[in-house]
Structure formats: structure tokens, C-alpha cells
């Protein structure tokens, strides 16, 4: 009997009526489960959609007495397992899992699993596009948009060859049953410290992705990504060392890797005694920055089990332009480049953005940062800003905290003021980089809304200039 068959006619409680909760309700209801959805938010998300499914919906505080009547509880990623009601029902032996764990118990298709503090959406999207355009049908899901159970529910899911999943630390907390064909932790920097008791707990949650993986892909430049027990095959990548399986040759500006990883003969030796390498020139890459070099290497390593002809991948990588709000070049005005990196909601992302952008900048780097730091340690910004950034404008909830680690930072009241100030300061050859190092929720609905506002403000600069007779 399959796991899904065993769930039929059972009473399943879903906590959280957001994207993942709605997808779980739809999937389980379609398979004859008795479903109740609980959500403790006042605005009652997805009420109409849930009512159409015919599930019971309760918008109220989570009650352990009610939940203990469940055969299974599926908790949405945004709800911590430490919630008192969940702690109580778990103590009574009721199975509490996330939607990814439920997916893992049901799914029979190969999975590529991707996590990391930064870059995971870019790598997930790139992996999906490389597979799909190489004739391997891939469903991209998880933290990137489509809920994992939404991928199973689609009519076309039986035709998928593989699921490519972006997974957050929240989603990984309850994960035990997933058996990825390949899995990676791209990088780790402090994030979500308002959720975890310690940095170590956050790292451990990320490392759940390596459990049962056939191939572990890790970043040799970041010791926190190393699999603790290397019981599976491992491939590493690096932009700093040429001793990794995938590495970046700074002299030739090429990504290099051993031919054997794509079905080549690893015994082929050149006249100089060097091993034969496949190479990918920066000229063949459609996105820029050292952090994106790492992302490309990780993607290539993750799909290596499929033995795709590498020659077919080069033009596909060139066509990939990245995702919005991730070091996205909005445009150049009067020789000033404006870059939208609103997705940089933690310090590690901003450090990576500065390290990636600064070497390409002919003039000054002007940084705009601020928002809700989520109780993270902001001190790593000090050295990188001192090395590469000429001026920092800070705003939002934790502007004062940013000024403590960047003493010369200039406070402004809003993103609008930051853009105006940056325009007045910048000159030809400079880069203005929005890379907040903080979440957006103190002032915006999400990082997308913040990025869209930044794009609009920059576009307005062009419009105002044009209306006054200026030129770009």
C-alpha cells in the first residue's frame, strides 16, 4: 500500500492557509482525505479558494486540544515547530511534517534539491531551464513560487522526468524522507536569526538537504556548506581555488571542470601533463559577477548525473539572464549603472553582490541599504564596504544598526531620498547598487515590491531628465 493510499479517509490538519497550505489542501482533498485548514492570521488568506475545495477552514489561534484529534499535521514553512501548540501535539506522538516532507513520502520521481542563504532561486531556475531545453522535462517548484505539492497536482506531473526544488531552511526543518539525485548548500550566512536559537541551528537546518542524497554539491569557499559525513559522492566548486572539481580561472576568465563529469575520458592527458578540462568563457555567460560564476558552477555540477552533452549547454547558459531583483541591471544613465539587488535580504547576499559588482566598476560603488535586519549580525559589512564602497545611504527600521557597523553611512528617510541622493553624488563610470542586507517588511509587502519601487524611481529619473531637456 502506498503512503498516499494510507492517508485516505484520515483526518489531516494543515496549519497555514498560504501558498503551500492551499496546495496541500487541494492535493489531499483530491485524494479523499478529510482536511481542516487552520490559520491564525486576521486577514484570512485564500478563504474563497479553500471554501471552493470543500475543506473545513478555521481562522483562529492554534489550539492543541483541537489539533490532537488529527492523524497528521502538515505545517506551513512560516510556522515554527517551537510553537506551543505544536510542541504539545508532538509530545503526544502526532506526526507533524512540512509540505516538502509530505511530497517526499509521495513522490517517485528524481529530485534535484537546492538551498543556501543566497543564490538558490537563480540556481534553481538555471537548473530547470538547462534540463528543459536539453530535452529533460523538469518541474521547478518549492520556495521559488510553485508549491511542491502543486507540482504533483498538475495534470502534466506524470510527464516530468525530474523535480527541481528550491528549499528554504524552514522547509528543511522537518525533512527526513527526501532522497535527492543531487543536492547542494550553495553558501551560508546569518539569516532568520529571529527564528533560530543559534547560527548553528540554522546551519543544521540547511544541512538536512544532504540526507540521503546520491550526490552532494558543496562550495569549497564556504566551510559551512561541507557535508558533515561524506557518505555520498561529492563535487565541489570554487571561485578561489583551482583544486576544486569546478573552478574559475581568473587569468583566462573561464569556468573549468574535469571532462569526466560530463562523460569525458578523465585519463586524457595533455602534452604538458595537465588533465583535459571543459571550459566556459565569460563571453559565453549572460550574467555577471563572481557570485553568479559560483551559481553557474553549482548548476552544472547538479545536472552532471544526466550526462548532457556539454556543447549543448554553452548557448543555453549564455541565454540565461538571471532573475529580477537579483543584481539586475536596470539601465545606465549618463554613464551611471543602476543595479537592483532587492532580493539581498541578508548580509551575505549584500557582501556577495558587492564582491561581484565592484571588480566590474570603473568608478565608485554607491550602496543603498536598509530595512529589517531580522536580528542578524551586520558586522561583516564593515570590511567589504571599507574595501569597495565609497558611499552608503541607509534607511528603514535598522538604519541605526547599519550606521554602527558603517560609521560613515549617511541616513536618509526613504528609498526615494536614497535614490535622489545617489543621483546627485554619482558620476560617469559609477555604480549605484540597491542591496539592502535586510528584509523589506518594515516598509514594503515583500522584496519584489521594494525592487519594483526602486526600478520606478530610477525610471522616473530618466523621465524627469527627458522632460527638462536632458539626455541619458
Active site residue ranges: 120, 143, 192
Cα separation, 76 vs 87, in Å, equals 15
Rounding to the nearest 10 degrees, give the CA dihedral for residues 337, 343, 348, 352. Answer: -30
Cell numbers describing residue 125: 531556475
What 3-state class would DSSP assign to 112?
Answer: strand
Residue 176, Cβ density class (10 Å: 0-12 exposed, 13-18 middle, ≥19 buried):
exposed
Nearest to 210, CA basis, from 232, 193, 189: 232
Query: Cα separation of 77 and 378, whole Å?
Result: 25
Per the CB < 8 A criterion, the answer to whether 388 and 356 are in contact is: no
Q: Report in angstroms the alpha-carbon separations of 313 from 51, 247, 252, 378.
A: 45, 17, 20, 38
Give the pairing type, strands 277-281 and 254-258: antiparallel
Q: In what order do the strands lie in the sheet with 95-98?
A: 56-59, 34-39, 11-15, 72-75, 95-98
Query: Would you say 227 and 234 are in contact if contact means Cβ atoms under 8 Å apart?
Result: yes
Kind and range of the H or E run holding 46: none
Is the dihedral angle over the CA atoms 468, 449, 322, 426 positive or is it negative? positive
With a CB cutoff of 8 Å and minimum separation 6, the contacts of 408 are: 391, 392
Return the C-alpha cell found at 376. Answer: 542578524
Amino acid at each position: 500500500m502506498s503512503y498516499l493510499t494510507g492517508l485516505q479517509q484520515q483526518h489531516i490538519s494543515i496549519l497555514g492557509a498560504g501558498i503551500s497550505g492551499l496546495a496541500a489542501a487541494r492535493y489531499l482533498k483530491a485524494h479523499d482525505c478529510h482536511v481542516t485548514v487552520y490559520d491564525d492570521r486576521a486577514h484570512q488568506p485564500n478563504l474563497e479558494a479553500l471554501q471552493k475545495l470543500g475543506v473545513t477552514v478555521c481562522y483562529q489561534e492554534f489550539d492543541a486540544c483541537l489539533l490532537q484529534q488529527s492523524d497528521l499535521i502538515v505545517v506551513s514553512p512560516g510556522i515554527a515547530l517551537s510553537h506551543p501548540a505544536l510542541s504539545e501535539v508532538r509530545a503526544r506522538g502526532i506526526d507533524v511534517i512540512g509540505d516538502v516532507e509530505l511530497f517526499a513520502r509521495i513522490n517517485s520521481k528524481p529530485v534535484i534539491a537546492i538551498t543556501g542563504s543566497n543564490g538558490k532561486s537563480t540556481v534553481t531556475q538555471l537548473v530547470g531551464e538547462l534540463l528543459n531545453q536539453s530535452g529533460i522535462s523538469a518541474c521547478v517548484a518549492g520556495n521559488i513560487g510553485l508549491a511542491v505539492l502543486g507540482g504533483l497536482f498538475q495534470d502534466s506531473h506524470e510527464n516530468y522526468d525530474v523535480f527541481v526544488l528550491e528549499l528554504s531552511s524552514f522547509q528543511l526543518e522537518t525533512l527526513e524522507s527526501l532522497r535527492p539525485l543531487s543536492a547542494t548548500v550553495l553558501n551560508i550566512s546569518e539569516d532568520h536569526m529571529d527564528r533560530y536559537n543559534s547560527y548553528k541551528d540554522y546551519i543544521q537546518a540547511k544541512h538536512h538537504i544532504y540526507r540521503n542524497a546520491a550526490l552532494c554539491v558543496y562550495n569549497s569557499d564556504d566551510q559551512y556548506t561541507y557535508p558533515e559525513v561524506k557518505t555520498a559522492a561529492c563535487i565541489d566548486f570554487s571561485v578561489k581555488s583551482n583544486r576544486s572539481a569546478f573552478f574559475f580561472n581568473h587569468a583566462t576568465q573561464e569556468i573549468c571542470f574535469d571532462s569526466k563529469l560530463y562523460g569525458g575520458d578523465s585519463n586524457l592527458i595533455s602534452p604538458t601533463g595537465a588533465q583535459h578540462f571543459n571550459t566556459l568563457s565569460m563571453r559565453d555567460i549572460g550574467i555577471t559577477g563572481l557570485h553568479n560564476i559560483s551559481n553557474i558552477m553549482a548548476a552544472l555540477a547538479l545536472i552532471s548525473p544526466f550526462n548532457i552533452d556539454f556543447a549543448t549547454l554553452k548557448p543555453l547558459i549564455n541565454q540565461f539572464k538571471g532573475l529580477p531583483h537579483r543584481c539586475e541591471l536596470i539601465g545606465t544613465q549618463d554613464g551611471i549603472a543602476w543595479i537592483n539587488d532587492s532580493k539581498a535580504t541578508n548580509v551575505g547576499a549584500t557582501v556577495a553582490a558587492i564582491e561581484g559588482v565592484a571588480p566590474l566598476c570603473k568608478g565608485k560603488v554607491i550602496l543603498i541599504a536598509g530595512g529589517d535586519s531580522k536580528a542578524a549580525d551586520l558586522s561583516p559589512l564593515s570590511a567589504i564596504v571599507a574595501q569597495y564602497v565609497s558611499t552608503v545611504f541607509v534607511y528603514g527600521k535598522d538604519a541605526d544598526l547599519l550606521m554602527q557597523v558603517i560609521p560613515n553611512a549617511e541616513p536618509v528617510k526613504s528609498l526615494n531620498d536614497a535614490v535622489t541622493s545617489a543621483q546627485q553624488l554619482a558620476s560617469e563610470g559609477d555604480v549605484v547598487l540597491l542591496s539592502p542586507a535586510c528584509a523589506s517588511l518594515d516598509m514594503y509587502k515583500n522584496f519584489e515590491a521594494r525592487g519594483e519601487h526602486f526600478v520606478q524611481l530610477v525610471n522616473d529619473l530618466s523621465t524627469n531628465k527627458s522632460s527638462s531637456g536632458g539626455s541619458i
